[in-house]
Amino acid sequence: MTPQGQRINDKLVAVYNDIVHLEEIEIKKSQFKDLSIKEIHTINAIGMYHRKTSSEVAQALKVTPGTLSVSINNLVRKDYVERLRSDDDHRIIHLGLTRRGRLMYRLHQSFHRQMVQSFLTGLDPQEVTLVEKALDNLQHFLDEHA
């Protein structure tokens, strides 16, 4: 690997830990102190609309159905998420956010918005496209190896 490649690798690793840590800190400063970073990500994966099933959310988060189920139990207890049994197929559970969950969702989105904005600061549109291309490369690599 080139020195620059090594540097980029190291920066990715550093940034990775820092993002998670900062998210954690932001939560503890907010009205949603009772959530962990994992729970925030679960709420984020469920999203604003009552569409996704349990297994879809588990797949998006790359955890087993059992892990998600336990986590959803906690989020239901804390009043962020609700379970909605499908009318068509009673095995299927659709996950939705409560009023409180949607509030949390919007707060976290705004954090991400700020982060992405700073990520792209000082780049012109063409350059932003390049960054997106690099991300697509990476996603392609990940899909290939999965």
Partner DNA sequence: CGCTAATATTTTGATTATCAAAGTAATTAG
Partner DNA sequence: CTAATTACTTTGATAATCAAAATATTAGCG
Catalog residues that contact DNA under the rule CB under 7 A.
Answer: 36-39, 53-55, 62-74, 83, 88-93
Examine residue 128 and tell whether it contacts a copy of itself (CB under 8 A): yes
C-alpha closest to that of 111 among 44, 50, 38, 42: 44
User: At how many degrees (to 10) do helices 37-46 and 65-77 cross?
Assistant: 100
Q: Which stretch binds a copy of itself (CB under 8 A): 49-57, 65-73, 86-94, 131-139?
A: 131-139
Among 51, 84, 106, 132, binds a copy of itself (CB under 8 A): 132
Q: Which stretch binds a copy of itself (CB under 8 A): 49-57, 72-80, 90-98, 122-130?
A: 122-130
| Beta-bridge partners for 7 | none
Whichever of 91 and 145 has its CB closer to a copy of itself, that residue is 145
Whichever of 20 and 115 has its CB closer to DNA, that residue is 20
C-alpha closest to that of 83 among 98, 70, 93, 92: 93
Q: How far is the CB of 93 from a copy of itself (least distance, A)?
A: 21
Residue 110 tokens, joined:
């705004």
Examine residue 49 and tell whether it contacts a copy of itself (CB under 8 A): no
Give the Cα separation of 101 and 75 in Å (integer): 9
Pinpoint the alpha helices (H) of 1-146: 3-29, 37-46, 54-61, 65-77, 99-119, 125-145
Binding site for a copy of itself (CB under 8 A): 1, 4-5, 7-9, 11-22, 25-26, 44, 60-62, 112-123, 125, 127-143, 145-146
